[in-house]
Amino acid sequence: MNGYVERVLNETREKNSNEPEFLQTVEEVLTSLEPVIQAHPEYEDHAILERMIEPDRVIEFRVVWEDDEGKPRVNRGYRIQFNSAIGPYKGGLRFHPSVNLSILKFLGFEQALKNSLTTLPIGGGKGGSDFDPHGKSDKEIMRFCQAFMTELYRHIGINTDVPAGDIGVGGREIGYMFGQYKRIRDAYENGVLTGKGIPYGGSLLRPEATGFGALYYAEEVFRHENDMIKGKTFVLSGYGNVTWGTAKKIAELGGKVVTISGHNGYVYDPDGVVTEEKINYLLEMRLSRNANVKMYADRFDCQFFEGQKPWGVKGDVYMPCATQNEVGMEEAKLIAESGAKYYFEVANMPTSNEAIEYLKKAGLIVAPSKAVNAGGVAVSALEMSQNSQRLAWSAEEVDEKLHTIMKSIHDSSASAAERYGLGYDLVKGANISGFEKIANAMLAQGWY
Ligand code: 2IT
């Protein structure tokens, strides 16, 4: 192993031993970068790796909100401003009880590399809270979002840091947070948040962008393999916004999604999540107060497998769309046994590092989340552009730009891997391509 990479990895393992998810990402990325580090001693001379894995700053704050009984409730809020070498910090806010520093640091580091891949001028950040939206009333959600923004507003800005949604944060939450930001600042700076509603500066196609982008990327992979999406069976996890957009585009392209999942089990729909009614029902489920994927099985009369994951179901293409670490060695073995050829990560870091290596060795084409799901943040950056120009592009205009961006992400990843003699390795290629732009910007900007 390259000496510099090894030293930084060992230091990180020691210093960050209480941050398992962050360590997982750093190990995956840094081992991919070995040939680049080997060829460019200037990165070591300027401590690029050490500087890149240490966030610019970590902000942690108390959020106090009033529940429907009039009682005060306390949660922890965060914003990690990870890297601003190529643009203002950009990345989502996650509201979920599992949120902690390790999770947000892994997401922030991944976000910086992903944003670099988009070709657009955005740095990396991530934030959120351990607040659990599940079972909360609409008014409780509103009061939480207002309380969260009352602290967050002082750290963000159109040229500083531009948050968006992630798990537990969709259009409704962004609306409440933007309302509070506007009230406090007394200014209509709608470029400070993305994922807004269409009437107040949201971009057409932002809700679809992560899923649509994933399929535009997949189309490039299929083209490379002289294969086609039409007629293929897709095994998906999740049932939220990302799963919705992914299923919608798969249906449009003639594929068939046969599974969706939630925290309590998965649904098997042999007829496919293919009709408009079924696809739209995903959105309806998520917005219900006690959202639960079993609702789909009841509504469309299909089987629900309680407490199980969908990875034992046979398919041609596997696309984890739910959350981190859904696929470990056990699940990877099931996927490899199915004889499938394609594995596209859509959620952020859904696969353990060991499982990625296993799937690659088993002969699957593995595409990493930081490339596959980058269409979401890319359209967020397009939303920022539209807001700063005070105009709105048509859905066709946004879709065309998204297409171009996803193709470029695929091509730059493939060619980066090729350049370092790694073959068609989309995982390493994405890390290298995302890294190079940030590293070179950091070199140019001096030590900080
Ligand atoms: O993981 C992600 O890329 C997001 N949650 C979207 C971030 C954004 O700024 O749109």
Domain assignment present for 353: yes
Question: What distance in angstroms lies between residue 113's CA and the mean position of ligand 1's atoms?
Answer: 12
- Active site annotation includes 126: yes
395-419 and 374-389 helices, crossing angle to 10°: 130
| Residues 273, 336 within the same domain | yes
Residue 228 lies inside a defined structural domain of this protein:
yes
Q: Which of 341, 372, 403 lies at the terminal end of a domain, its last residue? A: 372
> Ligand 1 in contact with 92 (CB < 6 A)?
yes
Q: What is the CATH number of the domain that holds 138?
A: 3.40.50.10860
Residue 170 sits in the same domain as residue 253 = no
Q: Is there a contact between 394 and 410 (Cβ–Cβ < 8 Å)?
A: no
Distance in angstroms (rounded) separating the CA atoms of residues 392 and 387: 8
Query: How many domains does one find in the chain?
Result: 2
State the CB neighbour count (10 A cutoff) for residue 299.
Answer: 14
By alpha-carbon position, which residue is closest to atom 3 of ligand 1?
A: 377
296 CB-near residues (< 8 Å, 6+ apart): 239, 260, 267, 269, 278, 281, 282, 285, 302
pLDDT of residue 290: 80
> Measured between alpha carbons, how far is 231 from 310 in angstroms, rounded to an integer?
20
Whether 90 is in the pocket of ligand 1, judged by its Cβ within 6 Å, is yes
Residue 118 lies in a domain: yes
- Token pair recorded at residue 175: 């609306």
Q: Which residues are registered as beta bridge partners of 319?
A: 236
- Domain CATH number, residue 284: 3.40.50.720
Which residues, at least 6 apart from 305, have a Cβ–Cβ distance to it below 8 Å?
Answer: 265, 266, 267, 268
As a whole number of angstroms, the distance between CA 95 and CA 240 comes to: 14
Closest-CA residue to 80 (of 129, 115, 33): 129
232 and 360 belong to one structural domain: yes
Shared domain check, 267 and 358: yes
pLDDT of residue 287: 83
Strand 161-164 and strand 89-95: the pairing is: parallel
Q: Give domain status of residue 262, yes or no.
A: yes
* Same domain flag for 213 and 312: yes
Q: 81: Cβ below 6 Å to ligand 1?
A: no
Q: Which one of the listed residues 90, 105, 126, 370 is annotated catalytic? A: 126
Distance 378 CA to ligand 1 centre (A): 8
Inter-CA distances, 154 with 61, 80, 90, Å: 12, 14, 16
**Residue 236 backbone dihedrals phi, psi, to 5 degrees:** -115, 155
Among 350, 372, 394, where does a domain finish? 372
CA 377 to ligand 1 center in whole angstroms: 5
Q: Where are the beta strands (DSSP E) in 114-179?
A: 124-129, 161-164
Angstrom distance (rounded) from CA 247 to CA 178: 29
Pocket test for ligand 1, best of 210, 349, 398 (most atoms within 8 A of CB): 210
240 C-alpha vs ligand 1 centroid, how far in Å? Answer: 14
Q: Is 103 in the pocket of ligand 1 (CB under 6 A)?
A: no
Across the chain, which has 448 residues, the per-10-residue mean pLDDT values are: 96 98 98 98 98 98 98 98 98 98 98 98 98 96 98 98 98 98 97 98 98 98 98 98 98 98 97 97 88 94 98 98 98 97 98 98 98 98 98 98 98 98 98 98 97
CA–CA separation, 132 and 100 (whole Å): 13
| Ligand 1 proximity of 348 Cβ (cutoff 6 Å) | yes
The answer to whether residue 287 is domain-embedded is yes
What ligand 1 atom has the least distance to the C-alpha of 163? 9
If asked whether residues 299 and 334 sit together in one domain, one would say yes
Rounded distance from Cα 80 to ligand 1 centre (Å) = 13
Residue 77 covered by a domain: yes
Indicate the burial class of 443 (C-beta count within 10 angstroms; 0-12, 13-18, 19 or more). middle
- Please check whether residues 132 and 237 belong to one and the same domain: no
Same domain, 213 and 133: no
Same domain, 70 and 168: yes
Secondary structure E strands in 255-329:
256-262, 265-268, 303-306, 317-319
Same domain, 235 and 314: yes
How many angstroms separate the alpha carbon of residue 253 from the centre of ligand 1?
Answer: 24
Q: Is residue 168 part of a domain?
A: yes
3-state secondary structure 80-93: EEEECCCCCEEEEE
Mutate to test the pocket of ligand 1, among 110, 117, 370, 377 (most ligand atoms within 8 A of CB): 377
* Whether residue 170 is found in the same domain as residue 213: no
The answer to whether residue 92 is domain-embedded is: yes
- Could you tell me if 26 and 33 are in contact, meaning their C-beta atoms sit under 8 angstroms apart? no
Read off the pLDDT of residues 169-221 as tens digits, 9 standing for 90 and up: 999 999 999 999 999 999 999 999 999 999 999 999 999 999 999 999 999 99
Q: Give me the domain span that covers residue 163.
A: 55-187
Q: What is the pLDDT of residues 347-368, one digit of tens each?
A: 999 999 999 999 999 999 999 9
Structural contact between residues 7 and 36, judged by C-beta atoms closer than 8 angstroms: no
Asked which of 156, 187, 218 is the last residue of a domain, the reply is: 187
d(CA 437, CA 329): 33
Is residue 172 located within the same domain as residue 216? no
Q: Is 203 in the pocket of ligand 1 (CB under 6 A)?
A: no
Per-residue pLDDT, 114 = 98
